[in-house]
Amino acid sequence: MYKDLDPLLHAQLRLAIVSILVSIEEADFVFIKDKTGTTAGNLSSHIEKLSQAGYIGVRKFIDGKRPRTVCKITQKGLDAFDNYVKALQDYIHH
């Protein structure tokens, strides 16, 4: 029997965000925006959903005179990503 895929991670942009953070652990908004090629508004919306789910932590602060947003993967996010990948592997190997 196939496992359900996490609907939060099944969205392409959210999966991309988490994939980036899994590999580098922490990244700022501009870096993630450049890597994903999405708009600031779209990225902000998806970051908020991941943050509300506890998959990522978000820090907002002022760096000199410019605001910065930094995202970091949480243990819950790592576990969710690991489970998602395992579920996909089950689909492939059946």
Q: How many domains does the chain have?
A: 1
Report the CATH number that the domain containing residue 64 is assigned in CATH. Answer: 1.10.10.10
Q: pLDDT per residue over 5-38, tens digit each?
A: 899 999 999 999 999 999 997 999 999 999 999 9
Query: Sorting pLDDT into bands at 50, 70 and 90, what band is 92?
Result: confident
**Does some domain include residue 39?**
yes
Q: Is residue 53 part of a domain?
A: yes
**In-domain check, residue 18:** yes
Instruction: Check whether 1 has a pLDDT greater than 80.
Output: no
> Does residue 64 fall inside a structural domain?
yes
Quick: pLDDT tens for 41-85: 999 999 999 999 999 999 999 999 999 999 999 999 999 999 999
Nearest to 54 by CA among 16, 20, 24, 81: 81
Print the domain residue range for 42: 7-93
Q: Work out the number of other CB atoms within 10 angstroms of the CB of residue 33.
A: 18
